[in-house]
Amino acid sequence: MYRYDEFDHAFVRDRVTQFRDQVKRRIAGDLTEEQFKPLRLMNGVYLQLHAYMLRVAIPYGTLSARQMRKLAHIARTYDKDYGHFTTRQNIQFNWPRLEDLPAILDELADVEMHAIQTSGNCIRNVTTDHFAGAAADEAGDPRPWAEIIRQWSSLHPEFSYLPRKFKVAVTGAARDRAAIRFHDIGLELRHAPKDFGEGAKGETGLGFRIFVGGGQGRTPMVAKEIRDFVPERDLLAYLEAIMRVYNRFGRRDNKYKARIKILVHERGIDEIREAVEAEFEALRGGVLDIPLEAREQISAYFAAPDFEVLPAKSETLEAAWTSNPVFGQWMARNTHPHKTPGYVSVTISLKPTGGVPGDARSAQMDAVADLADRYSFSEIRVSHEQNLILPHVRKDDLPALHKALVDAGLEAANAGLVTDIIACPGLDYCALANARSIPIAQRISERLADHDRQAEIGDLSLKISGCINACGHHHVGHIGILGVDRKGEEFYQITLGGAPGGDAAIGEIVGRGFSTDQVVDAVETIVDTYLGVRQDADETFLTAYRRVGKAPFQEALYGA
Amino acid sequence: MVPERLLAGVPGPGNEVVCSAAAWPDPGVLDRLFTGAPARDLIAYALNELAPGRAAVVSSFGADSAVLLHHVAAIAPDTPVIFLETGKHFDETLAYRDQLVKQLGLTDVRSVAPDAGRIAAVDPNGDLNKRDADLCCALRKEKPLKQALAGFDVWLSGRRRGQAASRASMPLVERVDGRLKVNPLADWDSGDISAYRTIHELPAHPLVARGYPSIGCAPCTSPVANGEDARAGRWRGSDKTECGIHIARNGETVRVITRNAMPGEDPPTNGRTNGPTNGMTMTERSEIWTKEGFQADPWQRLDDEEALPEDGAIVVSAERWSGLRGRNTLDDWDVGVAVGEGDPIEDLIPDLDRIAMVSLSFPAFTDGRAYSSARLLRERHGYEGEIRAEGDVLLDQIPYMLRCGFSSFAIRDEATRRALADGHIPEVPIYMQPTGSSNEAPFGNRPWMRSRS
């Protein structure tokens, strides 16, 4: 993992000091709320329906056990004993008091964490694949790049007052688990294309395919490719070129048209590419050049832990699997192939039946920290599906790990299944929401709790947003649910066929909305309709939907 | 006197007062506060906080009316809704009114008819609209509205900037005849309206599908062709564009921020792109802060029409500079150029060695375009003269401005002035990324702080 040096420590401490001063000036009246708002936002402080909310960055989703214990401590000491893991690899505390915020930020700084740029019209926390550095299908590790971008973008003097917020995601794997095409900039670490000139590839032959202008919200768009290959050493120059074009020419007259996706849409990708390339030519090879030795220095922080040499097959695991069906179910859903023989990555689901997606109590956070120490080289990841990951677990340890998870109430065996629901905080917390999300998620999860039935349904993502801002990613859910307000009553519109990854698509509205009472039945009808139309058990919901279209679903939902 | 409750209702944590009691309620402050906020926040604020029981909605039950009414119904369905029953409406409008009232559950819709006696006296044959449309509007709309609004301090209208050129600069909140007039949908475009209507499943006015995007009284409304202004069908054939109940704000236009031209593209033609910002006139002088402290501003700003002085340090607009630059000698003056907010600096590049100061404007402190302009001047074009920040220049942004190459600052904000005078600059003095500025030394192990040299 990345470790702060003296420089990073001083930087984060100075930032806390600066914020403490800003809070003081706000209280003294030297700053109006209007002036204070962007300053507090750039330190992750929101004003929600009931209270301030603090959003803490978990850079590229990586936590040490020690950091997780600190988060548990903050939940216990300053909040109502829980925290909420978000879809952008952050954690939110919903009930801190304004006067406690500088102290909380100080506590975070103790463990090399911060809330810098988790909000505001700046470059936000950089996200990446939660299996980075462990997955078997990687061209390269995206984490060093996420760290390099984090540093470059922190308190950037030119790009702190952009037209609108700006989100960057990086993946290093062939299979996109970071939804890069739904980010303002999506980066895919890849080998140079075959026809790329030898000299232009850079020393490593690695570089980035770059997408720009994706996003969800009220105008969902799939990002467009702006360049198929930028050599590693030029990445920051290319990013700075994109940012400069956006900062200068992005719309500022309407908040809802200010994201870069609108600029790309209105001007066209070719015009944007031309402007970016001209800027890139001028910046390339300058101060943002990243020499190989510097890249190696950062990469060293992310060196693989001391894996044991193990056989690919584990006898302990095989025995437990056959003798304990509950373990078998969990094992089948919640583990992911690892590049090192004898190891897997484990998903700890934060979606128990009837629970709040993404919430964890302080005792659970402590338990996960202990398990990470014991079984995963003290390392934890946070996924954008709002689950926790132990990235490096020996297959031999899985039965013992599972038992410990059962004791902590974290054994839900539903990773990737229909009850692995993503939901935004909704009207229960959020000032922007039109409808509640969490209670809908809870009721769907209760209705479809039966594990055998879920397993029969197979891979199916269900995502719920409480308003058109789409924090619950409903546009890219295989089943998406959008809460709307109709005459003061909550209604839910359903979309089908969305997908976030390499097969990116925006879901289609299936028909008129459903009331709070009807929506759970409607989801069940959709699931049953899928089971009826699929060709065999291997045809997933998404594949079947793309084959048959929405007609059979409409018929089942609304009659002929 | 301003009631305490009103002051306490200003949005913000702890409900802090954001403007002085004497000025409250100030439409300009409300306009700034709610710009960018969801429309429903402004509507809820107007109905629940600003003037509870003393706010009304005026609706024509026309093409776009459903959106505002839907908002209002969700917040306070008993809000009085005034409909001017001129006696000349399309039947479809009256039916649409009844349908919306029922569907949205509005409980206090007041259809206000003109005075029958006056109609009989002035328009006995009912053809006044043909003879004098203005008088007809005054009789059937303006006067009844004035009476209907008696007793209300605030009224809400669903007008939008995009509907017509005459509405392009409309603020969110304005003061009209002693009342606050609130236009919560001012910045919605037709796409927003149709998206909202789809999401909330609101019915459309039946005439919209028949080519009427804007609907008033039947005799004075005609369909609109593709490409025409949405309100082009109103009073067609005359230069009348508004009925008289929506007058301009003291003839004063409100600044419309337009999108920027990219290099090689024609600059935008609507809206102002040059000149003074935030009410500051060209000749007004600010106190100037540099790293050496405060000083009187040595520069004299000249309006485009103002005569050139004999000598001295003058600041002219980029437009005027394009006229001056052809002169062989500028020896009598030091010349500074004020670049309009967000305008590209590229036009100045060939003359940078003759320009002693470039002034870049921050129309709002949240508008970061000038940071890029300053860096380009310094790092790309090697400009060594003074770069001045003017406009909404506040304390917490000054460290960023310094790093981007600004060297002098026109300060208007009192708290900022005080803090700078005390030497209090809230900077994080460690930089995680390089700018191309030569005075930032590499430090620590930031890899990208080493240039390739």
Note whether A160 contacts B: Cβ–Cβ < 8 A.
yes
Compute the nearest-CA separation of B117 from chain A (Å): 40
Confidence band of B25 (pLDDT split at 50, 70, 90): low
Size of interface A-B (CB pairs under 8 A): 175
The confidence score (pLDDT) of residue B370 equals 97
Same domain, B145 and B16: yes
Note whether A486 contacts B: Cβ–Cβ < 8 A.
yes
Residue B272's Cβ-side half-sphere holds a number of Cα atoms within 13 Å equal to 14
Confidence band of B243 (pLDDT split at 50, 70, 90): low
- From B205, B161, B163, B166, select the one nearest B184 (Cα to Cα): B161
Express each pLDDT in A480-501 by its tens digit. 999 998 888 899 999 999 998 8
The confidence score (pLDDT) of residue B268 equals 38
pLDDT at B91 over 60: yes
Rounded CA separation B67/A101 (Å): 40
Residue B234 DSSP class: B
Question: Buried b / exposed e across A232-256, counting CB within 10 Å, b at 16+?
Answer: bbbbbbbbbbbbbbbbbbbbbebbb
Confidence band of A143 (pLDDT split at 50, 70, 90): very high
B74 sits in which H/E element: helix B65-75
Residues of B in contact with A117 (CB under 8 A): none
CATH classification of the domain holding B299: 3.40.50
Rounded CA separation A283/B36 (Å): 34
The confidence score (pLDDT) of residue B264 equals 45
Of B189, B366, B432, the CB nearest to A11: B432
Confidence band of A560 (pLDDT split at 50, 70, 90): low
pLDDT at B167 over 80: no
Compute the nearest-CA separation of B382 from chain A (Å): 13
Same domain, B317 and B199: no
**Preferred mutation among A18, A25, A34 to probe B, highest tally of B CBs within 10 A:** A34
Of A158, A271, A294, the CB nearest to B404: A158
Mean pLDDT of B29-40: 77
pLDDT at A24 over 90: no
Express each pLDDT in B269-298 by its tens digit. 333 233 333 333 333 446 799 988 998 888
**Preferred mutation among B19, B372, B375, B376 to probe A, highest tally of A CBs within 10 A:** B372
The confidence score (pLDDT) of residue B175 equals 81
Residue B111 DSSP class: E
Of A156, A293, A298, the CB nearest to B433: A156
B434: in domain: yes
B25 cis-preceded (ω within 30 degrees of 0)? yes
- High-pLDDT (> 90) share of chain B, %: 32
B182 sits in which H/E element: strand B179-182
Note whether B104 contacts A: Cβ–Cβ < 8 A.
yes
Residues of B in contact with A147 (CB under 8 A): none
Rounded CA separation B91/B86 (Å): 12
- High-pLDDT (> 90) share of chain A, %: 77
Mean pLDDT of A374-386: 96
Residues forming CATH 3.30.413.10 domain(s) in chain A: 134-299, 422-558
The confidence score (pLDDT) of residue B441 equals 56
The confidence score (pLDDT) of residue B281 equals 36
Rounded CA separation B288/B294 (Å): 6
Note whether A489 contacts B: Cβ–Cβ < 8 A.
no
Known catalytic residues of B are: 243
Query: A132-136, B104-108, B250-254: which has the minimum mean pLDDT?
Result: B250-254
Note whether B435 contacts A: Cβ–Cβ < 8 A.
yes
Residues forming CATH 3.90.480.20 domain(s) in chain A: 315-408
Q: Is A253 within 8 Å of B257 when comparing Cβ atoms?
A: yes
Same domain, B92 and B168: yes
CATH numeric code, A134-299: 3.30.413.10
Express each pLDDT in B376-403 by its tens digit. 999 999 999 999 999 999 999 999 999 9
Residues of B in contact with A297 (CB under 8 A): 445, 447
**Cβ contact B362:B339 at 8 Å:** no
Structural domain span for residue B328: 287-449
Q: Is B426 within 8 Å of A486 when comparing Cβ atoms?
A: no
The CATH architecture of the domain made up of A422-558 is 2-Layer Sandwich (3.30)
Same domain, B31 and B147: yes
Note whether B367 contacts A: Cβ–Cβ < 8 A.
yes
Q: Is B369 within 8 Å of A247 when comparing Cβ atoms?
A: yes
The confidence score (pLDDT) of residue A432 equals 84
Q: Is B368 within 8 Å of A155 when comparing Cβ atoms?
A: no
Rounded CA separation B89/B215 (Å): 9
Q: Is B259 within 8 Å of A251 when comparing Cβ atoms?
A: yes
B69: in domain: yes
The confidence score (pLDDT) of residue A165 equals 94
* Residue where a domain stops, chosen among B197, B220, B243: B220
pLDDT at A538 over 80: yes
Compute the nearest-CA separation of B447 from chain A (Å): 5
Same domain, B202 and B303: no
Residues of A in contact with B401 (CB under 8 A): 157
Note whether A209 contacts B: Cβ–Cβ < 8 A.
no
Residue A138 DSSP class: B
Rounded CA separation A58/A382 (Å): 8
Mean pLDDT of B232-256: 54
Q: Is A121 within 8 Å of B372 when comparing Cβ atoms?
A: no
Q: Is A218 within 8 Å of B195 when comparing Cβ atoms?
A: yes
In chain B, whose CA is at the least distance from the CA of A266?
B259
The confidence score (pLDDT) of residue A483 equals 94
Q: Is B428 within 8 Å of A29 when comparing Cβ atoms?
A: no
A517 sits in which H/E element: helix A516-533
The confidence score (pLDDT) of residue A546 equals 95
The confidence score (pLDDT) of residue B400 equals 94
Compute the nearest-CA separation of A212 from chain B (Å): 18
Residues of B in contact with A291 (CB under 8 A): 447, 450, 452
Cα separation values, A19 from A12, A25, B276, Å: 11, 10, 33
Express each pLDDT in A264-307 by its tens digit. 999 999 999 999 999 999 999 888 888 888 888 889 889 999 99
Q: Which CATH number fits domain A6-110: 3.30.450, 3.30.70, 3.40.1350, 3.90.1690?
A: 3.30.70
Note whether A197 contacts B: Cβ–Cβ < 8 A.
no
Query: A208-222, A383-397, B80-94, B190-204: which has the minimum mean pLDDT?
Result: B190-204
B267: in domain: no
pLDDT at A465 over 50: yes
The rounded mean pLDDT for chain A is 93
Residue A302 DSSP class: T
In chain A, whose CA is at the least distance from the CA of B367?
A161
In chain B, whose CA is at the least distance from the CA of A491?
B200
Find all residues with CB under 8 Å of B321, minimum gap 6, and list them.
B335, B337, B348, B351, B355
What is the SS3 assignment for A146-165? HHHHHHHHCCCCCCCCCCCC
Express each pLDDT in A182-226 by its tens digit. 999 999 999 999 888 888 888 889 999 999 999 998 889 999 999
Q: Which residue has the tokens 């006995």?
A: B124
Same domain, B49 and B195: yes
Residue A553 DSSP class: H
Question: What total number of domains does chain B contain?
Answer: 2
Higher pLDDT, B195 or A457: A457
Q: Is B18 within 8 Å of A253 when comparing Cβ atoms?
A: no
- From A149, A164, A174, select the one nearest A252 (Cα to Cα): A164
B34: in domain: yes
Strands A185-191 and A422-423: unpaired
Q: Is B427 within 8 Å of A18 when comparing Cβ atoms?
A: yes
Confidence band of B373 (pLDDT split at 50, 70, 90): very high
Higher pLDDT, B426 or B320: B320
Of A148, A161, A295, the CB nearest to B366: A161
The rounded mean pLDDT for chain B is 78
Q: Is A513 within 8 Å of B201 when comparing Cβ atoms?
A: yes
**Cβ contact A508:A497 at 8 Å:** yes
Cα separation values, A163 from B86, B184, B371, Å: 45, 22, 13
Of B256, B428, B444, the CB nearest to A15: B428
In chain B, whose CA is at the least distance from the CA of A258?
B259
Confidence band of B24 (pLDDT split at 50, 70, 90): low
**Cβ contact A351:A387 at 8 Å:** yes
Note whether B449 contacts A: Cβ–Cβ < 8 A.
yes
The confidence score (pLDDT) of residue B247 equals 42
The confidence score (pLDDT) of residue B445 equals 41
B135: in domain: yes
Of A160, A255, A297, the CB nearest to B368: A160
The ipTM, to two decimals, is 0.91
Residues forming CATH 3.30.70 domain(s) in chain A: 6-110
Rounded CA separation B54/A247 (Å): 43
What is the SS3 assignment for A436-452? CCHHHHHHHHHHCCCHH
CATH numeric code, A315-408: 3.90.480.20
Higher pLDDT, A16 or A28: A16
Mean pLDDT of A467-482: 94
Confidence band of B227 (pLDDT split at 50, 70, 90): confident
Same domain, B200 and B316: no
* Residue where a domain stops, chosen among B200, B220, B240: B220
Mean pLDDT of B332-341: 88
* Residue where a domain stops, chosen among B164, B199, B220: B220
In degrees and rounded to multiples of 5, residue B312 shows phi and psi of 110, -175
Express each pLDDT in A447-461 by its tens digit. 999 999 999 999 999
The confidence score (pLDDT) of residue A27 equals 75
Express each pLDDT in A64-83 by its tens digit. 999 999 999 999 999 999 99
pLDDT at B16 over 80: no
- High-pLDDT (> 70) share of chain B, %: 79
Q: Is A267 within 8 Å of B433 when comparing Cβ atoms?
A: no
Rounded CA separation B32/A185 (Å): 31
The confidence score (pLDDT) of residue B452 equals 33
Q: Is A485 within 8 Å of B74 when comparing Cβ atoms?
A: yes
Compute the nearest-CA separation of A288 from chain B (Å): 5
pLDDT at B443 over 80: no
Higher pLDDT, A510 or B210: A510
Of B33, B36, B446, the CB nearest to A151: B446
Alpha helices in B308-348 (DSSP H): 318-324
